[in-house]
Amino acid sequence: MITVDEFRPFVLDSERFGPTIAEFAEALSALGDPDGDGLIEHPLFVSLMAAIGFEEANIHALFDTLGPDAEDRITMATWAAGIKDYYAPDMAGIPGDQLVAARAV
Ligand SMILES: [Ca+2]
């Protein structure tokens, strides 16, 4: 398993990161699911995104946009898809728009 410090450079360096979006999305969502049940709890999502450098208010807004369940969790697949959309060129009207104000790349 990789650590937050190990994947941070991929977020901050779009050229290095570009070709590996899918791998990054899966690695990041896996970090959010240490117990392997396929669900990511709100507090852990916030911790990981804050570690990357996003603003907390934007992170909460993004989480809500991703459609949490009754127990305030999202699925790994939802998050991975959101990450891929966020880094795809010319995407608009997506959950990742919530992060534009704090975009790290
Ligand atoms: Ca989990």
Rounded to the nearest angstrom, the distance between the alpha carbon of 32 and the centre of ligand 1 is 7
Give the HSE-up count for residue 31: Cα atoms under 13 Å, Cβ half-sphere: 22
Condensed to tens digits (0 to 9), the pLDDT of residues 63-97 reads 999 999 999 999 998 988 888 787 776 666 777 77
Condensed to tens digits (0 to 9), the pLDDT of residues 17-63 reads 555 777 878 788 889 999 999 999 999 999 999 988 889 999 999 99
Rounded to the nearest angstrom, the distance between the alpha carbon of 90 and the centre of ligand 1 is 31
pTM, to two decimals: 0.67
Give the range of the structural domain holding residue 72, as residue numbers without chain letter.
4-102
DSSP-assigned letter for residue 70: T
From 35, 82, 80, select the one nearest 61 (Cα to Cα): 82
Give the HSE-up count for residue 29: Cα atoms under 13 Å, Cβ half-sphere: 22
Rounded to the nearest angstrom, the distance between the alpha carbon of 78 and the centre of ligand 1 is 13
- Number of domains into which the chain is organized: 1
Rounded to the nearest angstrom, the distance between the alpha carbon of 43 and the centre of ligand 1 is 11
Specify the CATH number for the domain of residue 12: 1.10.238.10
Residue carrying structure tokens 């804050």:
50
> What is the pLDDT, as a whole number, of residue 8?
63
Residue 48: count of CB within 10 angstroms of its CB = 19
Rounded to the nearest angstrom, the distance between the alpha carbon of 68 and the centre of ligand 1 is 13
> What is the pLDDT, as a whole number, of residue 97?
73
DSSP-assigned letter for residue 90: T
Read off φ and ψ for residue 10, nearest 5 degrees. -70, -30
Rounded to the nearest angstrom, the distance between the alpha carbon of 15 and the centre of ligand 1 is 31
Residue carrying structure tokens 């807004």:
61
